[in-house]
Amino acid sequence: MTAGAGSSYIIEGPAMRHQVSRNRRIAVFFLLPAVVMLFVTTIYPMLYAGWLSFRNYDLAKPFIPRIYVGTANYAEVLTSQPFFHALVTTFKLMAMTLSVQLVLGVGMALLVIQKLPGMALARTLLLIPMMISPVIVGLVWLFLYFPELGYLNYFIGLVGFEPVPWITSTKWALTAIAIADIWQWTPFIMMGTAAALQSLPAEPFEAARIDGNSRLDVFLHVTLPQLKPVLISLLFLRAIDAFKIYDIIFVLTKGGPADSTEVISLYIYRQSFTFWRMGVGAAASFVSLVIIVVLITLFFRSMQRSQSAQAR
């Protein structure tokens, strides 16, 4: 339950009114620095990026004046095939990683909450991938995927399969990235799910034990429904970060081969720092921001609607 439901002071008489206005002033004092700082560090650059998005800001052609071009950049982005390809690639990657992370994470959580010796240590160790820099994650998986030399193909060969051209083939590159991302972030889902599982009241499960419901039934009909809000929450957080994925791809494939792994962040990077078309890059950023905000809001609203429908 959340505390702090507005002013907890009962407003009666001039003394209280003075107190309330004093509180307001203190609130301003507390908030103002943060808001100013946030404005400076966030809004201002964003506004600047916005300004760029309406201009013909082409660093490669410094002789062309950086004039206001209206929505030309936006038009270009919205009609460009590479942009939509990047969008699609991003969503493809998100679908791959989130689905596997969900299933694997929940499975691992079920494993890790068992009260057996060594589990606590295992849980701690399994948190490590989350805390590693994505660049390092990229690098170590590059090591494993490295053409000709990487060990992953060696072990695949040992069990009798053909070596896989992980990062050199357009067919496999996205999967390769997905695997690295899944490796890094499944522990997050595992941890959140484990915490949720442990906070569920034990009695309904004991009742099911006494009644004799099968373990599968209990998992599907008692555990999972109660986990749903938590899982949605966790997936939401992951989705936001997954949309912005950058470092791992930069290290592993730089968007290649043949743009097969060019996600939104990399598309923006390419526009801004390879073609030096800052205006277009900025426009693309805003378009993708709008898209993700809209999608997330829709998703959230539909989840909340189904939650409250269930509760009624």
Partner 1 sequence: MSSVILRNVVKRYGQVEVVHGIDLDVDEGEFVVLLGPSGCGKTTTLRMVAGLEDISGGEMQIAGRVVNDVAPKDREIAMVFQNYALYPHMTVRRNMEFALKPQHLAADKVAERIAEASRILGLEPLLERKPSQLSGGQRQRVAMGRAMVRTPKVFLFDEPLSNLDAKLRTQVRLEIAKLHKRLGTTVLYVTHDQIEAMTLADKIVIMKDGHIEQVGSPEEVFARPRNLFVATFIGTPAMNLLPATVGGTASAPVLDADGIQLPAPAALAGKLEHGRKVTIGIRPFDIAIADDDRTGTTHAATIEVVEYLGTEVLINFRLGEHELIAQLPASSRPATGQEALHIAVDASKLHLFDTRTGLAIEP
Partner 2 sequence: MSPSAREKLLVYILLAVVLMLFMTPIYLIIVSSLKPAPDMFSRPPAFIFTPTLQHYYDLFTMRPFHLQIMNSLIVAFGSTAFSLFFGTLAAYAISRIRNRWTNQIAFWILSMRMFPPIAVVVPYYIIFQTLGILDTPLALIIVYSTFNIPLTVWLMKGFFDDLPEALEEAAQIDGHGVLATFYYVTLPLTAPGLAVAAVFCFIFSWNEFLFALMLTGSNAQTVTVAVMSFWSSDAVQWGRIMAGSFVILIPGVIFVLTCQRWLVKGLTMGSVKG
Where do contacts with partner 1 occur on this chain (CB under 8 A)? Answer: 201, 203-204, 206-214, 217, 221-222, 225-226, 310-311
Pick 12 or 203: Cβ nearer partner 1 = 203
d(CA 180, CA 137): 7
Judged by beta carbon distances under 5 to 8 A according to partner kind, the member of partner 1, partner 2, none in contact with residue 226 is partner 1
Contact map string, positions 12 to 51, toward partner 2, x by CB under 8 A: -----------xx-xx--xx-xxx-xx-xxx-xxx-xx--
Q: Does residue 86 belong to the site contacting partner 2 (CB under 8 A)?
A: no
Q: What's the sign of the alpha-carbon dihedral 97, 100, 105, 111?
A: negative
Q: Does residue 101 belong to the site contacting partner 2 (CB under 8 A)?
A: no
Burial label, 208 (beta-carbon count in 10 A; 0-12, 13-18, 19+): middle
d(CA 83, CA 293): 17
Amino acid occupying residue 117: P
Distance in angstroms between the alpha carbons of the first and the last residue of the chain: 20
Angle at 296 between CA 263 and CA 298, to 5 degrees: 130
Judged by beta carbon distances under 5 to 8 A according to partner kind, the member of partner 1, partner 2, none in contact with residue 37 is partner 2
Pick 90 or 260: Cβ nearer partner 2 = 90
Judged by beta carbon distances under 5 to 8 A according to partner kind, the member of partner 2, partner 1, none in contact with residue 106 is none
DSSP state of 63: T
- Which of 89, 96, 97, 187 lies at the binding interface for partner 2 (CB under 8 A)? 187
Q: How many CB atoms lie within 10 A of CB 99?
A: 13
Tell which positions 235-274 bind partner 2, by CB under 8 A. Answer: 237, 240-241, 243-244, 246-247, 250-251, 264-265, 268-269, 272
Give the length of the chain.
Answer: 312
Q: Does residue 301 belong to the site contacting partner 2 (CB under 8 A)?
A: no
Q: Does residue 154 belong to the site contacting partner 2 (CB under 8 A)?
A: yes
Q: How many CA atoms lie within 13 A of 238 on its CB side?
A: 30
Shortest reach from residue 297's CB to partner 1, in Å: 25
d(CA 242, CA 93): 8
Pick 161 or 171: Cβ nearer partner 2 = 161
Contact by Cβ (8 Å): 232, 303:
yes
Pick 162 or 211: Cβ nearer partner 1 = 211
- Which of 82, 129, 165, 257 lies at the binding interface for partner 2 (CB under 8 A)? 129
Q: Does residue 161 belong to the site contacting partner 2 (CB under 8 A)?
A: no
